[in-house]
Homo-oligomer: A and B are copies of this chain.
Amino acid sequence: MCPEKVKVGVLGATGAVGQRFVQLLQGHPWFELTALCSSERTAGKRYGEACNWLIGGAVPTHLRDVVLQECVPGPECDIMFSALPGDQATTIEKEFAAAGYAVCSNASSHRYDPDIPLLIPEVNPEHMGLIDVQKRNRGWSGFITTNPNCSTTHLVSALHPLHVRFGIQKVFVATMQAISGAGYPGVASMDILDNVVPYIGGEEEKMEQKEPHKLLGKFNGAKIEYANLVVSAHCNRVPVLDGHLEVVSIEFAQKPTQEEIIQAWRDYKPLPQQLELPSAPQPAVIYLDEPNRPQPRLDRMAGTIPGMATTAGRLRPDPLFDYKFVLLGHNTVRGAAGGSLLNAELLLAHGYLGQVAATWAGAFELA
């Protein structure tokens, strides 16, 4: 009755994001983790040895003795999750896509390629249409999808329900980003203890010029027409382990009331929540009434699927824009591995995984 699980692998399995993939795939109802791939330096070692487990607890027992493979097409699986660093991702992901794998990548390398979708399943599931364009263009039997940067993911997740109703024109955002966003070893403790660093290389550019515009853009059958909102971003690193906090001011095409905005968040039930995808939090956006929330330590794991929801609060008028508010999201769960995982669930639900997924065909009532 229940179809067989889809085999999946992880590229870059020993790093901070790779570990989150491994953690989130434990006991997954649809996917079975069958391949752990890593750099040449560690390939051949057992996962338990090669991995400095950062998340808390220990490497899952059944994976301790799994031997790491090199990042070369071959492993018997259908989906490859990529937690590779940008420089390695560029080539390796293409090789896997050419070899027929569905690559669900968290790397930034291909996010802005015109024929590669940058996906948040709640926001722009129709961008999956680019996959056909991509396969045609490149002559690949597989394909690549990407998810956005951790700070953009939660910003756009909170803005999307407002954008579709009221049209967002201007966004001002100042971020306070967790150290785990820089990977491991990442930020030196001497740089961040009793300190804030008001600079994260490349981050402001991603938020101001690239990601929100593609994510909120329209797929016209051939390419994405970028949305034309204007974004200004100040990005800061703070001494917090997990959870990016963002203070946001916004201006609308049609200014709603404060109640209408909160209602838009509370009514929001996009495709992944309708399909009840296994990693889709219910609701997608949580709005808190307390005057001093959300806060990273208290709210980063909020919601039905820990770390997958975006939490908002403190909506109030802004003297320079229409409104301002605070948002928070987990950067290595929804903002990284969890984002790719939900993309894969969406692809499976929509029949984008070919023969492999044929047996799953009847399992979904698509919107």
Chain A residues in contact with chain B, CB under 8 A? 16, 53-54, 56-58, 170, 172, 174, 176, 179-180, 184-199, 208, 230-232, 234, 236, 238-241, 245, 247, 249, 288, 291-302, 313-314, 318-321, 324, 326
List 6 A-B residue pairs with CB atoms under 8 Å apart, sorted by A's residue number: A57-B302, A176-B176, A189-B191, A189-B192, A194-B296, A199-B314
Q: CB distance B198 to A189 under 8 Å? A: no
With beta carbons under 8 angstroms apart, the residue of B300, B313, B324 that contacts A234 is B324
Q: CB distance B318 to A196 under 8 Å? A: no
Q: Tell me the complex Cα distance, A174–B234, Å.
A: 9
With beta carbons under 8 angstroms apart, the residue of B176, B192, B198 that contacts A196 is B176
In the complex, which residue of chain B has the Cβ closest to the Cβ of A297? B195
Q: CB distance B189 to A296 under 8 Å? A: no
With a cutoff of 8 Å between Cβ atoms, the chain B residues found around residue A176 in the complex are 176, 196, 236, 238
A328, chain B: closest CB distance, angstroms = 8
Q: Tell me the complex Cα distance, A57–B306, Å.
A: 10
Instruction: Contacts A56-B298, A189-B192 given; indicate if A292 touches B197 (C-beta within 8 A).
Output: yes
Q: CB distance A241 to B196 under 8 Å? A: no
Q: Tell me the complex Cα distance, A54–B288, Å.
A: 15
Q: Tell me the complex Cα distance, A218–B316, Å.
A: 31
Q: Tell me the complex Cα distance, A193–B180, Å.
A: 11
With a cutoff of 8 Å between Cβ atoms, the chain B residues found around residue A57 in the complex are 298-299, 301-302
A165, chain B: closest CB distance, angstroms = 22
Q: What are the nearest 10 A-B pairs in CB distance?
A: A174-B174, A185-B188, A234-B247, A199-B292, A195-B297, A232-B320, A189-B189, A198-B326, A187-B189, A194-B194
With a cutoff of 8 Å between Cβ atoms, the chain B residues found around residue A189 in the complex are 179, 186-189, 191-193, 239
With beta carbons under 8 angstroms apart, the residue of B190, B239, B240, B320 that contacts A186 is B190
A22, chain B: closest CB distance, angstroms = 16
Most chain B beta-carbon contacts within 10 A, residue among A53, A170, A288, A298: A298
With a cutoff of 8 Å between Cβ atoms, the chain B residues found around residue A294 in the complex are 198
Q: CB distance A198 to B324 under 8 Å? A: no
Most chain B beta-carbon contacts within 10 A, residue among A16, A190, A197, A247: A190
Q: CB distance B185 to A179 under 8 Å? A: no
Extra A-B contacts (11), CB below 8 Å, given A56-B299, A170-B320, A195-B298: A57-B298, A174-B247, A179-B189, A179-B193, A189-B191, A189-B192, A190-B241, A193-B241, A198-B294, A199-B291, A234-B326
Q: CB distance B197 to A194 under 8 Å? A: no
With beta carbons under 8 angstroms apart, the residue of B241, B247, B324 that contacts A236 is B247
In the complex, which residue of chain B has the Cβ closest to the Cβ of A320? B232
Instruction: Contacts A193-B241, A319-B230 given; indicate if A56 touches B297 (C-beta within 8 A).
Output: yes
With a cutoff of 8 Å between Cβ atoms, the chain B residues found around residue A56 in the complex are 297-301
With beta carbons under 8 angstroms apart, the residue of B187, B197, B245 that contacts A198 is B245
In the complex, which residue of chain B has the Cβ closest to the Cβ of A317? B232
Instruction: Contacts A184-B188, A187-B189 given; indicate if A314 touches B230 (C-beta within 8 A).
Output: no
